[in-house]
Amino acid sequence: MTETISRVNRSKEDARASYNKLSRWYDVVAGGTEKKYRDWGLEKLSAKPGEKILEIGFGTGHCLVSLARAVGPDGRVTGVDISDGMLAIARERLQTEGLGERVDLRLGDAANLDFVEAGSLDGVFMSFTLELFDNPEIPRVLQECRRILRSGGRLAVVSMTKTNPPGIPVRIYEWFHHVMPNYADCRPIFARQSMEDSGFKIEDASVSSMWGLPVQIVLGKKP
């Protein structure tokens, strides 16, 4: 694979501050655009009643609601996000839906999931989140996912990707990502390849398009 992945050139502190400011407006800015792809990812994960699921980068909590309904009263959902502004919005949404008791929300960084016991989860879900981590951290996040999943556990990832060679929309977006990282914060990565490199067996993968930008939806399983 000759194409390289752009680096993340902002700090975690800047990312947290940016998402705190954006939290009240995120659904207006990006929620509708991302919904279709999030739903496809949730469909691939296919959370079942009684399962234990973690969502990394839960944002305003739409997927947490779907996951909490899927696992039912006997299941458990945990969410981790870097932004306390997003956490507040997600908690409010869960309470409104009457699902607050099924979900534990945590403020933290998915590069270190030490609050989750090894082999304790049935599934992990990430939507437009893995591409927020810098290149050296992506394998670390995926190894943490692999550690906390039981044998046969599933990881579903929705992320921006790019073809080889990348199209013009990707080139333009990557330029914006470089010069305005607080606005174009995600950048295209190779999720499937990264998951395979981290020891996941790919069960399903598909590519769609969002405003001309390729989006990859991948389901991997821990052997």
| 125 part of a folded domain | yes
| 63 part of a folded domain | yes
| 1 part of a folded domain | no
Listed residue (71, 152, 81, 160) closest to 119, CA to CA? 152
Which CATH number is 171's domain given? 3.40.50.150
For 90, the token pair is 């997600």
Listed residue (1, 212, 15) closest to 111, CA to CA? 15
Q: pLDDT tens for residues 158-175? A: 999 987 667 776 676 676
Between residues 151 and 26, which one has the greater pLDDT? 151
Could you list the residue range(s) of the whole structural domain that residue 30 is in?
12-221
| 6 part of a folded domain | no
Report the distance separating Cα 187 and Cα 139, nearest Å.
16
Asked whether the beta carbons of 121 and 149 are under 8 A apart, the reply is yes
Provide the number of structural domains found in the chain: 1
| 3 part of a folded domain | no
Q: pLDDT tens for residues 71-94? A: 999 999 999 999 999 999 999 999
Average of per-residue pLDDT across 45-54 = 98
| 5 part of a folded domain | no
| 2 part of a folded domain | no
